[in-house]
Amino acid sequence: MEKECLAGQTAMVTGSSSGIGFAIAVTMAKAGANIVVNYHSDEKGAADAIAQITQAGSKAISVQADIAKEEDVLRLFDEARKHFGTIDILVNNAGIQKDAAFIDMTLDEWRKVIDTNLTGQFLCAREAAKEFITHPAKKNVRSSGNIIFISSVHDIIPWAGHANYTTSKGGETMLMKTMAQELAPKSIRVNSIAPGAIKTDINKEVWSDPAQLKTLMDMIPYQRMGEPDDVAKVAVWLASDDADYITGTTIYVDGGMTLFPSFAHGGLS
């Protein structure tokens, strides 16, 4: 992979004021892309992302927008167009968890997670696809646009106490595949990265407690939590021309979490 493999392109990364989105925004900037940083409420995190992107020699703007709201998404894309003319890469990263036992889950907890993780990703992906279709053939990039969903191992691993989250992630996978099938003739690539346990604020409760961390290790054959950079490097490659023949695929970045780790000890026969 060339160092400047995203040079001349603009990437929008939703939810890039922290965690995985932050790392993707900065790593794509290091690969030469200009970045649209989107944040929901963490203004300081967005400012930190802008500082690191600028330090890497790329341009950036930050736009506050709740991706669950259609008017916010339209404004986000308008701002991106105003500053950079268009975008070439969308990283559909913003996502939330609102955990509850199934019988206690309120309609509000269900809706909030589906609205952000699934409907929000649909809205951003739709606007990006509309944008990409207008792109003239580019000299330096083979596809006319790239969409990367940041999904989760929980698009295939059921997770008690997280019915809203797993449903949103399973739905995201079918959204990604259907879009990939529909948009491939327009030279638009659509893929997912499914992270496992990546050390961010979303699972701080687990990694800051030694007992819970030990239990987590039983679920990760590779025996370490992931870092946001583990995901960011894959995102850069997937958005680059080196991955030009890949569309409709999910790449699991999970240290083996999806390998049924409990069977590593021989199963029951």
For position 199 contacting ligand BGC by CB under 6 A, the verdict is no
- 87, burial (CB in 10 Å: exposed 0-12, middle 13-18, buried 19+): buried
- Applying CB under 6 A, the span of 41-49, 68-76, 149-157, 172-180 interacting with ligand BGC comes to 149-157
> In this complex, which beta carbon is closest to ligand BGC, that of residue 154 or of residue 189?
154
For position 153 contacting ligand BGC by CB under 6 A, the verdict is yes
φ, ψ of residue 125 in degrees (nearest 5)? -65, -40
For residue 161, count other CB atoms closer than 10 A to its CB.
Answer: 13
- Report the candidate in 188, 108, 198, 112 with the shortest Cα–Cα distance to residue 151: 198
- Report the candidate in 180, 243, 240 with the shortest Cα–Cα distance to residue 9: 240
For position 168 contacting ligand BGC by CB under 6 A, the verdict is no
Spatial separation of the C-alpha atoms in residues 176 and 19, rounded to whole Å: 22
> In this complex, which beta carbon is closest to ligand BGC, that of residue 184 or of residue 202?
202
Output the smallest distance, CB 211 to ligand BGC, in A. 15
Of the listed 165, 222, 245, 252, which one is catalytic? 165
For position 96 contacting ligand BGC by CB under 6 A, the verdict is no
For position 196 contacting ligand BGC by CB under 6 A, the verdict is yes
> In this complex, which beta carbon is closest to ligand BGC, that of residue 68 or of residue 153?
153
In contact, 175 and 118? CB cutoff 8 Å:
yes
Whether 165 is a known active-site residue: answer yes
Output the smallest distance, CB 97 to ligand BGC, in A. 6
- Report the candidate in 41, 51, 47 with the shortest Cα–Cα distance to residue 62: 47
* Run of H or E residues at 268: none
For position 173 contacting ligand BGC by CB under 6 A, the verdict is no
Active site residues: 165
Q: Which residues bind ligand BGC (CB under 6 A)?
A: 97, 152-154, 196-197, 202-203
